[in-house]
Structure formats: C-alpha cells, structure tokens
C-alpha cells in the first residue's frame, strides 16, 4: 500500500517511501518510522507533564480588598484555618497577646465611656500611684461635678475605676510591643487638608501616602513575632526590662472579677445604652469571655484567633500550601491589604496578574462613619470603592467575588430597632428586615458593577459572617472551586 505525502507532517516528508521498495525494505522502513513516532510521542508526553507541573507550580493568586474593618484579614484567617491547618496550629498561641490587648482595650473603652458621665473621684478613694491622671488626659474635657450625673454611680464604681487603672499601662505596653498594627486609625491621622478619597489609586498618589508602598512577606507574623521573642526567650537579657508577657497575664488574672463586675454592672449598661455605644459590635470584642481569657493558663482557641483584631498595614503577602480541598498540594498566594483610605494607594501594583479579587463590604456599617474620616458614611465608601474596583481596566479580566459581610451584626442591629432609611434615604419604606435590606444593598452593588465593568463579567456574591468559621468554610469551598477553574483556564492560555 502506497503512502500519501502529507505536507503538514514532517515525518511524512522525511519518511516518504522510495519508489520500488521491496517488502523487506518496507518492513525496515516501517519499523524505523514507528520508532521515530514513539520518540516523538514520548517528547510530547514529557512536554505535557512539564506544562502541567508548571501550571501546578504557579500559585493561585488572590487579592483581598475592602475598607478598613470589612473583614479581609478575618477571611484570610478562615482560608488558613480551613485549608492550611498545620500553619494555623503553629501560629495559634502567638495570638494570645493580641486577644489580651483586645480585651484590655474593651475594658478601657468602657472606663472611658463611664468616666464621661461620672463625677470626679472623692478624695477618699484617690491613691497616689493610680493612673487616674493619665486616664483623665485621654478623656473628653466634659467632667460632671458630683451630683451632676444623671446616673446613680456609687463609690463602688469609683473603686472599680481605680482598681482597673493598671490596665492603661498594660494596653500601652502591649501596643508598643505589637507595633503600629495594634493601634487603630484615628481621624487625626488623615489630615483634614489631605481630603482623602475612596480610591486614591485612580489618580496620582499624594506624597504623604507613598510610605504605604511596603511589601511584607510575613504579614501579621511580624507583629506576633515581636511578642513571641519576648515571651519565649530563655535568657534574661533577651527579655525587655519594661515588658514581660507573664506580667500582662498576671495583671489580667488579678483584674478578672473587677472587669466582670464592670461589664455586668446595670448602671454601666445603662450608660452604654443611653450613649448608643454597642460594645458587642466593636472590633475585637471579648468582654463576654473574661472568665476564660483572664486566667493564668489562658491559651487562645480557634475562635479567639478568628475574632482577634490586628490592623493590617500596607500590603501583606501570605503563602499557604493547601492541605485539603480540590487544590491540595497547590500553593495559594494571598495578598491582604490595609483598608483605610490612606492605605489604598498601595493596592494598585497588586492588580496585575491576579486570579481573583475577594471584595468585602461590611453591610452592617450602613449607619457608621469611617474611622479615618468621620464625614464619610461607611456604606457610601464601600460603594465608591466597589465602583472603582469594578471599573478598573487592570482588573477587567479578573474574577471579582463580593462578600456582603457582617450579616450577623446587621441582623442584630436591625433587631435592636435601627432604621435603615434614617441613614440610607433611598431605602424608603421597605421592610426593615435583614432579607429585604441585604437584597436592596446587593442590587445596588450589582447595578454599580454592571455600569462600571469595562467588559461584561459575572456577578458573584455571598452573604457572609466571616467570624462564623463553619458557614464560611462552605462559602470558601464554592469560592475555591470558582477561583481554581479560572486559574487553570488562565494557565492554559499562557
Ligand atoms: N461579628 C462580626 N465581626 C466581624 C465579621 N467580620 C469581621 N469581623 C470583625 O471585625 C474586625 C475587623 O476585621 P478585620 O478582618 O481585621 O478587618 P480588615 O478588613 O482586615 O481591616 P484592616 O486591616 O483595617 O483593613 C475584627 O475584629 C473581626 O473579628 C463578621 O462577619 N461578623
Ligand atoms: Mg486587615
């Protein structure tokens, strides 16, 4: 049987049968041809494997975006807790100081609130070494004189305040040790003259914001390691002279009953209610866990670590090798950013070559103002930011997943009687329940995306409470699959 010449097949040209071939010659030629094809197939196979290995080697890259306190770092922790448990378990105990600081801040915030309503101390209850003088500095100037207060404070309240005085120093020491991430953004940190915008990366970056182009490879570890070094160091020289983590634990254990008495006090609760202070909604809230945390052998639980608040500075990079799930053995590279307006200029270099963006909008914040700019409503800021991210040309081909977060807090807020229309007039007379409110907000985000996307893109949205690790694990498995699918598709295009 003659062999036809195929111009597209190089083997066909090289091995075209000579005219008048004998059967023996034909057999020899066919053997040679078969061998050449086997080698060629083998090379193809090797190339395919190499490409697959390369694809596997290239980490899945995810960028977490959203305003400050939207839950980005908490989402990242959920990824680690669900998919990289070994690294999670190794880090868990380092969070102890952060949880302790969060609790101390809660108690000091309580003391600040009641101090504004209390008269000055009676001379009888003052002690020379108390921290009251310093405490007064951090308080607003309005101090009621005795009998002025509409609340029935007693000597007991003054005594509690006095006995909890050492917590001021503990807070300060822990903040110094943990570094800037331990302190929250203050309105004064964004100068009024600077007029911060929701998406400063859309235009030229103001000089004063350029310091935020910091790239850290170890994320929150840098803060946690400072504490670990001090509490774990064996030699005394390595310990700081003015800081000892066991002293923090000791002071907290000694203050346990007083902290509880303060938090459970009916007059204190009344002051909080009248001042519309909802401690339970604040970041890093641990006042309901005093019994467990203020002990000499306290060790953080998974839940404590999830709820612990440590502000993100700059852009932090985390590498996890997933242990379970569809991407087991695969490396994920996640970028967690600081969400305050003054930090956003640093985001844009990370828009390049990203598989997916997870954008968090804390919907419970519809009646709150930005910490860095008290003139701006937090939901309004999320809308502006979402518009800018959706409209970014750099992200035009990137999958964007929206988390409408803090649904648990939204439900609590609505149940307590807060009316959405008071802060969001366009909400009108719709029913003030969580289902209607989330649907309304969701439609708004969808519409903004539709109008801003440079090219059509699916709208992926999840209603989340990322402090709930169980429901978040379910959400993340859906997200993981979607991101992976896009990642592999992109790798194929490379
Ligand atoms: N109740 C509740 N608290 C949440 C939820 N998501 C986050 N938090 C808490 O809100 C606080 C802020 O969350 P983070 O994850 O630190 O916020 P972030 O977006 O990383 O903030 P920056 O680092 O400042 O940009 C933490 O104390 C979290 O525990 C939620 O869905 N429900
Ligand atoms: Mg963060």
Distance (Å) from CA 317 to ligand 2 centroid? 12
Q: Which of 68, 70, 71 to mutate to test the pocket of ligand 1 (most atoms within 8 A of CB)?
A: 71
Is residue 334 within 6 Å of ligand 1 at its C-beta?
A: no
Of all protein residues, whose CA lies closest to atom 21 belonging to ligand 1?
A: 69
Is residue 219 within 6 Å of ligand 1 at its C-beta?
A: no
pLDDT at residue 150, rounded to an integer: 84
CB 484 within 8 A of CB 326: yes
- Rounded to whole angstroms, the Cα distance separating 362 from 378 reads 8
CATH class of 60-92+313-493: alpha beta
Question: How far, CA to CA in Å, does 4 sit from each of 9, 17, 24?
Answer: 11, 9, 20
Distance (Å) from CA 30 to ligand 2 centroid? 67
CB 338 within 8 A of CB 347: no
∠ at Cα 20 (19, 25), nearest 5°?
100
Nearby residues of 171 by Cβ (< 8 Å), 6 or more positions away: 101, 104, 105, 108
pLDDT at residue 183, rounded to an integer: 80
Q: Which of 65, 74, 368 to mutate to test the pocket of ligand 1 (most atoms within 8 A of CB)?
A: 74
pLDDT at residue 147, rounded to an integer: 54
Distance (Å) from CA 67 to ligand 1 centroid? 10
Q: Which of 212, 216, 283, 316 to mutate to test the pocket of ligand 1 (most atoms within 8 A of CB)?
A: 283
Distance (Å) from CA 432 to ligand 2 centroid? 30
HEC sequence for the chain: CCCCCCCCCHHHHHCCCCCCCCHHHHHHHHHHHHHHHHHHHHHHHHHHHHHHHHHHHCCEEEEEEECCCCCHHHHHHHHHHHHCHHHHHHHHHHHHHHHHHHHHHHHHHHHHHHHHHCCCCCHHHCCCCCCHHHHHHCCCCCCCCCCCCCCCCCHHHHHHHHHCCHHHHHHHHHHHHHCHHHCCCCHHHCCHHHCCCCCHHHCCCCHHHHHHCCEECCCCHHHHHHHHHHHHCCCHHHCCCCCCHHHHHHHHHHHHHHHHHHHHCHHHHHHHHHCCCCHHHCCCCCHHHHHHHCCCCCCCCHHHHHHCCCCCCCEEEEEEECCCCCCCCCEEEEEEECCCHHHHHHCHHHHCCCCEEEEEEEHHHHHCECCCCCCCEHHHHHHHHHHHHHHCCCCCCCEEEEEEECHHHHHHHHHCCCCHHHHCHHHCCCCCCHHHHHHHHHHHHHHHHHHHCCCCCCCEEEECCCCCHHHHHHHHHHHHHHHHHHHHHHHHHC
Per-residue model confidence as pLDDT tens for the chain (494 residues): 444 445 555 555 555 677 788 899 889 989 999 999 999 898 888 877 776 666 556 889 999 999 999 999 999 999 999 999 998 998 899 899 999 999 999 999 999 999 988 866 544 444 444 444 444 434 333 344 445 678 899 999 999 999 999 999 999 999 988 887 778 766 645 454 455 789 887 766 554 444 333 344 445 666 666 655 454 444 334 444 445 688 999 999 999 999 999 999 999 999 999 998 999 999 999 999 999 999 999 999 999 999 999 999 889 999 888 888 877 888 899 999 999 998 898 999 999 889 999 999 999 999 999 998 999 999 999 999 999 999 999 999 999 999 999 999 999 999 999 999 999 999 999 999 999 999 999 999 999 999 999 999 999 999 999 999 999 999 999 999 899 888 887 776 65
Of all protein residues, whose CA lies closest to atom 9 belonging to ligand 1?
A: 283
Output the pTM of the full model. Answer: 0.81
Q: What protein residues have CB closer than 5 angstroms to ion ligand 2?
A: 72-73, 312
Nearest CA-CA partner of 192 in 342, 380, 384, 67 = 342
pLDDT at residue 73, rounded to an integer: 96
ipTM associated with this complex: 0.99
- Rounded to whole angstroms, the Cα distance separating 343 from 351 reads 15
Residue with tokens 């305003």: 67
Is residue 94 within 6 Å of ligand 1 at its C-beta?
A: no
Of all protein residues, whose CA lies closest to atom 10 belonging to ligand 1?
A: 283
Nearby residues of 339 by Cβ (< 8 Å), 6 or more positions away: 65, 66, 67, 68, 69, 70, 72, 312
Distance (Å) from CA 462 to ligand 2 centroid? 19
Which residue spans of the chain are classified as CATH 3.40.50.300? 60-92+313-493
């Amino acid at each position: 049987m003659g062999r036809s010449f195929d111009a597209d097949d190089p083997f066909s040209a090289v091995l075209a049968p000579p005219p008048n071939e004998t059967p023996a010659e034909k057999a020899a030629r066919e053997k040679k041809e078969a061998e050449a094809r086997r080698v060629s197939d083998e090379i193809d196979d090797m190339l395919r494997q190499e490409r697959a290995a390369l694809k596997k080697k290239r980490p899945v890259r995810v960028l977490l975006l959203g305003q400050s306190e939207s839950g980005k770092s908490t989402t990242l922790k959920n990824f680690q807790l669900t998919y990289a448990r070994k690294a999670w378990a190794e880090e868990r105990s380092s969070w102890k100081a952060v949880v302790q600081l969060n609790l101390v801040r809660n108690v000091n915030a309580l003391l600040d609130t009641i101090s504004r309503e209390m008269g000055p101390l009676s001379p009888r209850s003052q002690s020379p070494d108390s921290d009251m003088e310093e405490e007064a500095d951090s308080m607003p100037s309005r101090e009621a004189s005795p009998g002025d207060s509409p609340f029935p404070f007693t000597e007991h309240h003054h005594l509690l305040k006095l006995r909890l005085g050492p917590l001021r120093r503990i807070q300060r020491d822990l903040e110094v040790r943990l570094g800037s991430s331990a302190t929250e953004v203050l309105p004064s940190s964004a100068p009024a003259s600077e007029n911060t915008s929701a998406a400063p990366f859309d235009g030229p970056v103001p000089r004063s914001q350029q310091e935020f182009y910091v790239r850290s490879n170890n994320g929150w570890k840098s803060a946690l390691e400072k504490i670990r070094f001090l509490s774990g160091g064996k030699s005394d020289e390595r310990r700081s002279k003015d800081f000892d983590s066991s002293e923090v634990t000791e002071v907290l254990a000694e203050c346990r009953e007083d902290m509880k008495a303060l938090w459970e006090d009916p007059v204190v609760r009344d002051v909080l209610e009248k001042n519309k202070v909802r401690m339970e909604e604040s970041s890093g809230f641990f006042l309901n866990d005093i019994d467990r945390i203020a002990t000499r052998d306290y060790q953080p639980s998974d839940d404590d670590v999830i709820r612990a608040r440590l502000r993100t500075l700059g852009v932090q990079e985390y590498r996890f090798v997933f242990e379970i799930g569809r991407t087991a053995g695969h490396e994920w590279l996640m970028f967690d950013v600081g969400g305050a307006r003054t930090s956003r200029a640093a985001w844009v270099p990370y828009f390049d070559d990203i598989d997916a963006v997870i954008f968090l909008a804390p919907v419970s914040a519809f009646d709150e103002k930005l910490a860095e700019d008290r003139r701006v409503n937090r939901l309004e800021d999320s809308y502006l930011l979402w518009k800018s991210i959706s409209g970014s040309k750099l992200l035009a081909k990137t999958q964007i997943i929206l988390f409408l977060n803090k649904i648990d807090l939204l439900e609590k807020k609505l149940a307590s009687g807060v009316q959405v229309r008071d802060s969001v007039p366009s909400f009108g007379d719709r029913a003030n329940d969580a289902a209607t409110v989330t649907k309304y907000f969701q439609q708004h985000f969808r519409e903004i995306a539709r109008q801003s996307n440079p090219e059509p893109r699916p709208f992926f949205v999840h209603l989340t409470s990322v402090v709930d690790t169980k429901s978040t694990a379910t959400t993340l498995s859906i997200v993981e699959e979607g991101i992976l699918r896009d990642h592999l598709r992109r790798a194929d295009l490379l």
